[in-house]
Homo-oligomer: A and B are copies of this chain.
């Protein structure tokens, strides 16, 4: 029987994501605890500590990080504070888990990664959405070859906009919806296309359609991977109807549709009164509602922390590393560049993966021609559409 290791955690940041993380950490394995919370506001620190029964809170990052009981620090701060906080955690030599996105730019992300790696400190990237139960099951199917080679991944995250002010300030966040939501979508696309499949170039549209801000509130962009596969990212801060969190995968032999949030088999009609809390970013509490059964489970938080702690406890590598966070920031940089230049932009990064194979194309031959399509006719014969490899002429033939 494995020894039970319990972790004592410092939580830097007391916003919505800090709530989700702490709820998960306290419930999940029943033994890990947040023992100190940092907030620059003493009032918010105190409220957070009361809410989650946390013994200590402080307005000093260093005090939280160097708390002698603490072995692991979760950085759940605004994007512009990640690098500074990471420096302090690395200096203290604690395990470091950083929320998404890793940083505002690939350059900042690389600094964080390099710091941790040269100090030999454990670093994990808290990208929850690749850990959802549906993603896990789907990924197992993809990896077993059930849908053949992946050709296209759609990752969509859209809602009416974030809760905290700093998200809307591109100086602090790095950009708008592309950084806030795109980081999830990029990593979902990488996960299905293959982590060893280099993201080569990006073509992006971005615009500020509705909100009175400088940053983009809508974007669609395409990431071309080395294999030829395409990641299609759709993000919006102006979507109406709840949190639209869907992924689709197409492969040469099959396809997948995932709905994480709005259509998951639970449908509630409420005529008059209130149904109370429905789900994150839900817009209404009457009419037809689509609550999520186990929200922290469906969003992947549970499996994410389990993976992180298992890697820490047994000396392994978590599924999401600081390097993954750096790759995501490099793709974001390319997307932002493309939205300005109005052309495809290369993803600039120090690639650690190998070379990916192209999507398989082993066409069948018939009479010296390649078979474009084969269809079974009702009378039992087959119709072949043929391409003459020399002339490019297309023809068809019906065979016995």
| Interface: A222 (CB within 8 A) | yes
In angstroms, Cα B291 to Cα A149, docked, is 20
Q: Is the CB of B273 within 8 A of A138?
A: no
Q: Is the CB of B268 within 8 A of A265?
A: no
Contact of A265 among B260, B272, B341 (CB under 8 A): B260
Please give, as numbers and ranges, the residues of chain B lying within 8 Å of A33 by CB-CB distance: 1
Cβ of A162 to closest chain B Cβ, rounded Å: 8
| Interface: A197 (CB within 8 A) | no
| Interface: A250 (CB within 8 A) | yes
Cβ of A80 to closest chain B Cβ, rounded Å: 12
Please give, as numbers and ranges, the residues of chain B lying within 8 Å of A45 by CB-CB distance: none
In angstroms, Cα B287 to Cα A370, docked, is 27
Cβ of A171 to closest chain B Cβ, rounded Å: 8
Q: Is the CB of B222 within 8 A of A297?
A: no
Contact of A240 among B147, B241, B242, B293 (CB under 8 A): B147
Please give, as numbers and ranges, the residues of chain B lying within 8 Å of A165 by CB-CB distance: 385-386, 394-396
Given contacts A210-B252, A228-B209, A273-B253, A151 and B372 within 8 Å (CB-CB): no
Please give, as numbers and ranges, the residues of chain B lying within 8 Å of A266 by CB-CB distance: 134, 137-138, 256-259
Chain B, residue nearest A298 (CB): B293
Mark A359-400 against chain B: 1 for CB-CB distance below 8 A, else 0: 101010000001111010000000001110100111110000
Q: Is the CB of B255 within 8 A of A239?
A: yes
| Interface: A41 (CB within 8 A) | no
| Interface: A343 (CB within 8 A) | yes
Please give, as numbers and ranges, the residues of chain B lying within 8 Å of A271 by CB-CB distance: 148, 240-241, 253-254, 283-284
Binding-face segment, A97-105, A211-219, A326-334: A211-219
Given contacts A207-B228, A211-B372, A288-B290, A273 and B146 within 8 Å (CB-CB): yes
Given contacts A152-B218, A205-B224, A250 and B236 within 8 Å (CB-CB): yes
Contact of A213 among B4, B136, B387 (CB under 8 A): B387
In angstroms, Cα B217 to Cα A372, docked, is 11
| Interface: A77 (CB within 8 A) | no
In angstroms, Cα B1 to Cα A148, docked, is 49
Q: Is the CB of B267 within 8 A of A264?
A: no
Please give, as numbers and ranges, the residues of chain B lying within 8 Å of A373 by CB-CB distance: 160-161, 168, 211
Question: For residues 135 through 184 of chain A, which have their beta carbon under 8 Å from a beta carbon of chain B?
Answer: 136-138, 140-141, 144-148, 151-152, 154, 158, 160-161, 163-166, 168-169, 172
Q: Is the CB of B240 within 8 A of A210?
A: no
Q: Is the CB of A294 within 8 A of B133?
A: yes
Q: Is the CB of A276 within 8 A of B140?
A: yes
Please give, as numbers and ranges, the residues of chain B lying within 8 Å of A141 by CB-CB distance: 268, 270, 275-276, 291
| Interface: A37 (CB within 8 A) | no
Cβ of A225 to closest chain B Cβ, rounded Å: 11
In angstroms, Cα B242 to Cα A265, docked, is 16
In angstroms, Cα B398 to Cα A165, docked, is 12
Q: Give the 10 A-B residue pairs with the shortest CB-CB distance, closest first.
A: A287-B287, A133-B293, A241-B269, A133-B294, A343-B343, A259-B265, A169-B394, A212-B370, A134-B293, A264-B265
Not counting A29-B29, A137-B266, A220-B232, a sample of 4 additional A-B residue pairs whose C-beta atoms are within 8 angstroms of each other reads A29-B30, A146-B268, A259-B266, A288-B289
26 A-B residue pairings within 8 Å (CB atoms): A1-B53, A4-B6, A133-B293, A133-B297, A146-B270, A146-B273, A152-B236, A158-B250, A165-B385, A165-B396, A169-B393, A169-B394, A203-B203, A205-B224, A210-B361, A212-B361, A212-B363, A213-B387, A214-B392, A240-B254, A240-B271, A254-B270, A259-B265, A284-B286, A284-B287, A288-B288
